[in-house]
């Protein structure tokens, strides 16, 4: 069953980390994507969605599939170690880290052929940035929204699979693929969202006052965070602190506990950090419990849980 929702509700049901801002221009944006039919790519073990990508026929390298990154990027030292040609951009640019700080770059790595499953890009120039944080995690690079937003991407973390569907796949085609691939036969919540190019959803916060807040669906974030406006509206008090790392550095964030809030009608309990930005993040500690689809061309998100059903009030929406 497919349930279409107009807006996400974010409220307590019982009681009481490269960001997407900055530059969104890269040669990857203008590089045609070749994908004739759906492709299924194994995910590595771990919280974050990491797949193997081949560059110019070299040995497969791990890349983070990051909906919270506007750009596809590669770690400069690792690109050099792979023997990729490194060239200068005529003008340097910046992108933002998850903490809001600017990260400058002025070089690119030339990839004659980038392959991820059956997805192929020819002649891409990938921004090359020295990313110690990424090296600590293990991946060589990040697949960002300049690539992902042009496809239909199915994240099946419980089964450790990433499905990529061609850009021309409409909602009926997606539903048919879900049936044929036996990905989920229960209730799917579907909702239009804003791709900027990263996916954002507006939340109705029902607490001491009703306010609107924005959350980014960020598959590159291990944990979720709340903007200050949501924390204040819900009257939450910090339960601890956590260290967050991004391209722009390391910083401490307060943590908060929420009990059974509604995420597209599904009940979720979890820990949230305080976001340093004016919007929050839905990270993989929350999203990883679901099968979810980011349909960039159709500007929609689909959400399904194999064990948990929608709140009754939402299933009749």
Strand partners, 128: 74, 107
Sorted by where each begins, the domain ranges of the chain are 9-16+27-152, 157-305
The chain-wide mean pLDDT, for the chain, equals 84
Q: What pLDDT, on a 0 to 100 scale, did the predictor assign at position 37? A: 97
* Contact status, residue 48 vs residue 64, Cβ threshold 8 Å: yes
Q: Comparing 9-16+27-152 with 157-305, is the CATH topology the same?
A: yes
- Provide, rounded to the nearest whole percent, the portion of the chain with pLDDT above 90: 54
Q: What pLDDT, on a 0 to 100 scale, did the predictor assign at position 253? A: 82
- Dihedral angle sign, alpha carbons of residues 133, 137, 139, 145: negative
Q: What pLDDT, on a 0 to 100 scale, did the predictor assign at position 254? A: 87
pLDDT, tens only, 122-165: 998 999 999 887 888 889 999 999 999 999 999 999 999 999 99
Task: Assign 244 to helix, strand or coil.
Answer: strand
Strand partners, 302: 190, 293
Q: What pLDDT, on a 0 to 100 scale, did the predictor assign at position 12? A: 36
| Cα–Cα distance for residue pair 303/307, rounded to 1 Å | 13
Q: DSSP secondary-structure letter at 174?
A: H
Which of the listed CATH numbers 3.30.420.40, 3.90.650.10, 2.40.70.10, 2.40.50.40 matches domain 9-16+27-152? 2.40.70.10
| Cα–Cα distance for residue pair 163/159, rounded to 1 Å | 11
Strands 194-195 and 199-206, how do they pair? antiparallel
CATH topology of domain 157-305: Cathepsin D, subunit A; domain 1 (2.40.70)
pLDDT, tens only, 15-48: 223 566 555 445 677 788 999 999 999 999 999 9
Q: DSSP secondary-structure letter at 78?
A: H
Closest CA to 290 of 148, 157, 153, 154: 157
pLDDT, tens only, 217-239: 999 999 999 999 888 888 889 99
pLDDT, tens only, 274-294: 988 899 999 999 999 999 999
């Amino acid at each position: 069953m497919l349930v279409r929702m107009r807006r996400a509700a974010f409220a307590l049901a019982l009681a009481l980390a490269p960001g997407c801002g900055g530059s969104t221009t890269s040669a990857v944006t203008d590089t045609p994507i070749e994908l004739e039919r759906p492709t299924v790519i194994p995910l590595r073990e771990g919280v974050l969605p990491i797949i193997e990508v081949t560059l110019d026929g070299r040995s497969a390298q791990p890349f983070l599939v990051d909906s919270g990154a506007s750009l596809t990027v590669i770690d400069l030292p690792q690109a050099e170690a792979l023997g990729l040609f490194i060239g200068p951009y005529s003008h340097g640019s910046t992108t933002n880290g998850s903490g809001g700080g600017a990260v400058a770059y002025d070089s690119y790595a030339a990839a004659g052929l980038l392959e991820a499953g059956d997805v192929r890009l020819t002649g891409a120039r990938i921004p090359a940035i020295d990313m110690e944080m990424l090296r600590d995690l293990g991946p060589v690079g990040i697949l960002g929204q300049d690539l992902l937003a042009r496809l239909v991407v199915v994240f099946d973390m419980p089964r450790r699979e990433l499905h990529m569907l061609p850009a021309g796949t409409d909602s009926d085609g997606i539903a048919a693929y879900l049936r044929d691939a036996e990905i989920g036969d229960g209730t799917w919540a579907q909702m239009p969202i804003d791709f900027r190019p990263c996916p954002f959803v507006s939340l109705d916060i029902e607490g001491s006052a009703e306010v609107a807040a924005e959350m980014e669906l960020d598959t590159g974030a291990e944990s979720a965070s709340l903007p200050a406006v949501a924390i204040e509206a819900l009257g939450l008090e910090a339960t601890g602190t956590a260290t967050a790392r991004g391209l722009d550095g390391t910083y401490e964030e307060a943590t908060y506990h929420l009990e059974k809030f509604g995420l597209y009608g599904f009940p979720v309990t979890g820990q949230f950090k305080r976001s340093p930005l004016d919007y929050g993040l839905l990270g993989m500690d929350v999203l990883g419990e679901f099968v979810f689809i980011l349909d960039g061309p159709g500007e929609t998100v689909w959400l399904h849980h194999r064990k948990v059903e929608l709140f009754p009030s939402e299933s009749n929406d």
